Amino acid sequence: MTNYSIAPEPLDGKVPPGPIEHKWDDHKFASTLVNPANKRRFEVIVVGTGLAGASAAATLGELGYRVKAFCFQDSPRRAHSIAAQGGINAAKNYRNDGDSIYRLFYDTVKGGDYRAREANVYRLAQVSVDIIDQCTAQGVPFAREYGGLLDNRSFGGAQVSRTFYARGQTGQQLLLGSYQALERQINLGTVEMFPRTEMLELVVKDGVAVGIVVRNLVTGAVTSHSAHAVVLATGGYSNAFYLSTNAKGCNVTAAWRAHRKGAYFANPCYTQIHPTCIPASDDFQSKLTLMSESLRNDGRIWVPKDPSDTRSPDQIPEADRDYFLERRYPAFGNLVPRDVASRAAKREVDEGRGVGPLKNGVYLDFAEAIGRLGRHVLEERYDNLFEMYERITGEDPYKVPMRIYPAVHYTMGGLWVDYDLMTNVPGLYALGEANFSDHGANRLGASALMQGLADGYFVLPATISNYLAPQLGRSPVPTSDPVFQAAEAEVSERTKRFLAIRGTKSPDHFHRELGKIVWDNCGMARSQDSLTKALGEIPALRDEFYRDVKVLGGDMDFNQSLERAGRVADFLEFSELMCLDALHREESCGGHFRVEHQTEDGEALRDDDDFAYAGAWEFTGVGGAPVLHKEPLVFENVKLAQRSYK
């Protein structure tokens, strides 16, 4: 599939008029409200219980809506937001170092390489301060200074210290905060929780989202749930690459099912490769582990100058080391944004200077920081990370430099949403990593947690009334409606199809093969050749999957291979769109690096004349030619400039 067509009309993000500082307030004032007494007449489905989903479900329940929340894990507390380590940004300016809402907004737009929607980003920066207040009040144990006030650190490319953190477990603590708020609503009866339940179809009637079809993962029962609105907070698609830092269960199924039912998928080629992960050690590796980027605050990244240098790192004198980030980017040094740091490491490894037994990493060295600050300070800051590293590799980073290498970590692309976070399908919303809106082509460190919570606590609860209010008095479409029956039949049939193939290879085998194709051809560097190659290989692999996948057991049972088969099948369709999007975007920006488009220094070269738009794809059938809808990105506040971190 290399064909596509372009829709004649531009896509409208429905950004409110007026100066950027007033848009959100003005929009809230202009919004239609639902009377407090009427809120219980509305039902809302929330799929996913990570930061965005749990905070949205809890807040909507608290407002009085009747909420059904779904997650595939055995408890809502296990969503993958829990694994975020580093921190959460907020424009509090507690450090008096020149931060402001405007600066956070500016940094995020610039960091996203000018491919995000300005108004959304500004709103994100505005509500960031409320998030910290909210979470602190919930009891999130953020790090504190000796005076008892909140501590901050500088993080991933920011020149101000605006990141709040809870040891190396910020995501865990924030998620537990929203999980607890969710459990409170479950106890109060405003939210009904469905754990171990996977959404397998979106139900659309007359162009409007009316519910979902789910499979109970324990009993295998396929059932329908209807509501006035459906909210997807189902995370990103990093696992298309098989090896990523995502949890094993993370998948694109909910978003992809919605896409197949009409929701546009925007910028799927914007994937973020995180520079500091532990390199793979063997073929059995099932996932990669991230080492928080905060480590770059105190660690220095280097490789031996001589590719044939086999000395142990402590035996290599300073003169024989190349601190390549500090050398190439003197102003930002080891703190350049993720995409820049990742590509620089790739260059070193590609040129043969990689370290470790497989020569697939670079050193992240703490010796200088230990000398300067003392071991106790590093223990305070990173002890759990150092421990985790030692557990995985068997090496002690207090004594030997860590070995790190980039890995897929986050995906900026996602379902296209307007300013209200509603997709082009009325009644269907997408929050957090599942949408595309705030990070452009590259996400800054400590911004994912901020966006998930902004969407769930503050944005959706304020915007959803615009859609719900006019429906007062209308009941949701009953699940006995033929449209639900048809969707249920489709799901059951698909599930049975996987079982009927009786081939010879496991779903994991196909997933691994797919991962190799997309990592090699649509990874840190992409070219017309590599993408065309991938677009030939993916459909062939998909055909083989449907011929030769082997799933044992039954459908009315707890069957983990069956779950996996369904998710891999959707990745096999989705990856094709990701590669097509990467092929069509003839420029380099943020996480999307096309080798044909780079500066003399090897930096990403944008093409603002032709590509300053969000590319939202409309589904026309598997292997069919999708339709590209362009949402022009208008920059009224931030001046377009070539990013430079020198």
Task: Give whichever of 278 and 538 is closer to another protein, judged by the CB atom.
Answer: 278
Our finding on whether 77 is near another protein (CB under 8 A) is yes
Task: Give the one residue of 309, 383, 481, 508 binding another protein; rule: CB under 8 A.
Answer: 508
Coil vs helix vs strand at 560:
helix
In angstroms, the CA 160 to CA 326 distance is 19
Our finding on whether 290 is near another protein (CB under 8 A) is yes
Nearest distance from C-beta of residue 640 to another protein, angstroms: 35
- Joined together, the tokens standing for residue 569 give 């099948």
String of DSSP letters for 149-202: SBP-B--TT-SS--EE-STT-HHHHHHHHHHHHHHHHHHHTSEEEE-SEEEEEE
| Cβ burial 113-138 (10 Å sphere, 16+ → b, else e) | bbbbbbbbbbbbbbbbeebbebbeee
Our finding on whether 450 is near another protein (CB under 8 A) is no
Our finding on whether 461 is near another protein (CB under 8 A) is yes
Answer yes or no: 95 catalytic: no
In angstroms, the CA 280 to CA 177 distance is 33
Task: Give whichever of 247 and 535 is closer to another protein, judged by the CB atom.
Answer: 247
**Binding mask of the shown chain, residues 136 to 175, with x at each position contacting another protein by CB under 8 A:** xxxx-xxxxxxxxxx---------------xx-x--xx--
Element (DSSP H or E) covering residue 343: helix 338-350
Residues 422 and 21 sit within 8 Å (Cβ to Cβ): no
Our finding on whether 15 is near another protein (CB under 8 A) is no
For another protein, the binding residues in 530-559 under the rule CB under 8 A are: 550, 552-553, 557-558
Task: Give the one residue of 9, 282, 600, 636 binding another protein; rule: CB under 8 A.
Answer: 282
Candidate list 66, 162, 338, 526, residue with the active-site label: 338
Nearest alpha carbon to residue 273 among 342, 344, 218? 342
For another protein, the binding residues in 237-266 under the rule CB under 8 A are: 247-249
Residues 293 and 353 sit within 8 Å (Cβ to Cβ): no
Q: With contacts defined by CB under 8 A, how many residues of the chain interact with another protein?
A: 78
Could you identify the residue written with the tokens 């590669």? 579
Our finding on whether 314 is near another protein (CB under 8 A) is no
Task: Give whichever of 145 and 586 is closer to another protein, judged by the CB atom.
Answer: 145
Task: Give whichever of 180 and 466 is closer to another protein, judged by the CB atom.
Answer: 180
For another protein, the binding residues in 89-118 under the rule CB under 8 A are: 92, 94
Task: Give whichever of 556 and 595 is closer to another protein, judged by the CB atom.
Answer: 556
Could you identify the residue written with the tokens 């605050």? 297
Task: Give the one residue of 289, 360, 528, 637 binding another protein; rule: CB under 8 A.
Answer: 289
Task: Give whichever of 344 and 388 is closer to another protein, judged by the CB atom.
Answer: 388
Distances (CA, A) of 321 to 302, 314, 373, 454, 606: 6, 11, 22, 43, 32
Nearest distance from C-beta of residue 177 to another protein, angstroms: 8
- Joined together, the tokens standing for residue 361 give 């990493």
CA 260-407-524 angle, to 5 degrees, is 75
Of the candidate spans 74-82, 304-312, 314-322, 431-439, the one that interacts with another protein by CB under 8 A turns out to be 74-82
Nearest alpha carbon to residue 609 among 580, 583, 632? 632
In angstroms, the CA 526 to CA 578 distance is 12
For another protein, the binding residues in 180-239 under the rule CB under 8 A are: 180-181, 183-184, 186-187, 193, 195, 218
Task: Give whichever of 205 and 509 is closer to another protein, judged by the CB atom.
Answer: 509
Q: Which residues, including other chains, have CB under 8 Å from residue 276's CB and lie 6 or more apart?
A: 290, 291, 292, 293, 295, 296, 364, 404
Our finding on whether 43 is near another protein (CB under 8 A) is no
Our finding on whether 495 is near another protein (CB under 8 A) is no
Of the candidate spans 204-212, 287-295, 365-373, 439-447, the one that interacts with another protein by CB under 8 A turns out to be 287-295
Task: Give whichever of 392 and 595 is closer to another protein, judged by the CB atom.
Answer: 392
Our finding on whether 287 is near another protein (CB under 8 A) is yes
Our finding on whether 62 is near another protein (CB under 8 A) is yes
- Joined together, the tokens standing for residue 368 give 């200088």
The residues that bridge with 391 in the sheet, in sequence order, are none
For another protein, the binding residues in 405-444 under the rule CB under 8 A are: none
Residues 307 and 352 sit within 8 Å (Cβ to Cβ): yes
Nearest distance from C-beta of residue 245 to another protein, angstroms: 8
Nearest distance from C-beta of residue 248 to another protein, angstroms: 6
Nearest alpha carbon to residue 623 among 581, 568, 582, 577? 577
Nearest distance from C-beta of residue 92 to another protein, angstroms: 7
Task: Give whichever of 62 and 481 is closer to another protein, judged by the CB atom.
Answer: 62
In angstroms, the CA 482 to CA 488 distance is 10
Task: Give the one residue of 561, 598, 635, 637 binding another protein; rule: CB under 8 A.
Answer: 561
Task: Give whichever of 148 and 473 is closer to another protein, judged by the CB atom.
Answer: 148
Q: What is the DSSP letter of 451?
A: H
Our finding on whether 501 is near another protein (CB under 8 A) is no
Nearest distance from C-beta of residue 497 to another protein, angstroms: 18
Nearest distance from C-beta of residue 386 to another protein, angstroms: 13
Nearest distance from C-beta of residue 102 to another protein, angstroms: 20
Helix %, strand %, coil % of the chain (to 5): 40, 15, 40
Our finding on whether 75 is near another protein (CB under 8 A) is yes
For another protein, the binding residues in 355-394 under the rule CB under 8 A are: 388, 391-392, 394
In angstroms, the CA 99 to CA 199 distance is 41
Our finding on whether 29 is near another protein (CB under 8 A) is no
- Tell me which residues are annotated as active site: 338
